[in-house]
Copies of this chain bind each other. A is one copy, B any other.
Amino acid sequence: MAVTDEAIEKIKAMIVAGELAPGDRLPPEKELAERLGLSRNSMREAVKALEVIRVLDVRRGDGTYVTSLEPHLLLEAISFVVDMHDDDSMLEIFVVRRMLESQATGLAANLATDDEVAALVAEVNSIDGSVSVEELVEHDIRFHREIARMTGNAYLASLIEHLSSQTVRARVWRGLTEGGAVERTLSEHRAIADAVVQHDSALATSLATAHIAGVERWLRQAASA
């Protein structure tokens, strides 16, 4: 194994062992390099790798710190992965998303507080079919994020959010506006919100399944066209 990979493992081990806690500061580059037994440059490669997957946070002129290690940070890397996939993989991803999001929506219907319900309704009412694609994408992200957050499961919420990354959403919505399906999609959002308001878990689950499956079907025929 290369020295850099060893260094990555060692730093990871220090975190897993609790030797380095979230927010802790690592020794200066020079010292850390000595401690791990390699050159500064090689150690920097290791630190950089841990930085892109959001395990470390390097602040220039200050020092290197362990991030909060919260799910939403660590799962950011998934967006990167999702972006890189072609249409075939995208369909597989949508199946996963449908599995997660349908159940998450059902869970949200059970757990939603009054405040959360009000926020969701406000979000749905804030939009109609006349806005730009960018605004639709933003709305879509907020809508699904709010539902996912209601589950109280940060890991689940992050996974759902990053599973349909920004660029994928943009592509899909652009297609939907061309196909004239915007209004139907928005009305599905409204129906899901209604089910959550009524705390009707079974209905919310089914509507969410149908909602994702609809987009999925559109993507499937777009991919084959």
Binding site for B on A (CB under 8 A): 4, 8, 12, 15-16, 41, 44-46, 48-49, 51-53, 55, 69, 71, 74-75, 77-78, 80-81, 83-85, 89, 92-93, 95-96, 99-100, 103-104, 153-156, 159
Contact = CB atoms under 8 A, between A and B. Distances in A.
A194 to B, nearest CB: 23
B99 A85 contact: no
A74 B77 CA distance: 10
27 contacts: A12-B80, A12-B84, A15-B84, A16-B83, A16-B84, A41-B41, A49-B52, A53-B53, A53-B77, A55-B84, A69-B85, A71-B85, A71-B89, A74-B81, A74-B84, A77-B77, A92-B153, A92-B154, A92-B155, A92-B156, A93-B155, A95-B156, A96-B155, A96-B156, A99-B100, A99-B103, A100-B100
Given A41-B41, A53-B53, A83 B153 contact: no
- Per assembly, the copies of the chain total 2
Contacts of A16: 83-84
Contacts of A45: 44-45, 48
Given A45-B44, A92-B71, A52 B8 contact: yes
Contacts of A8: 52
A104 B154 CA distance: 22
A125 to B, nearest CB: 30
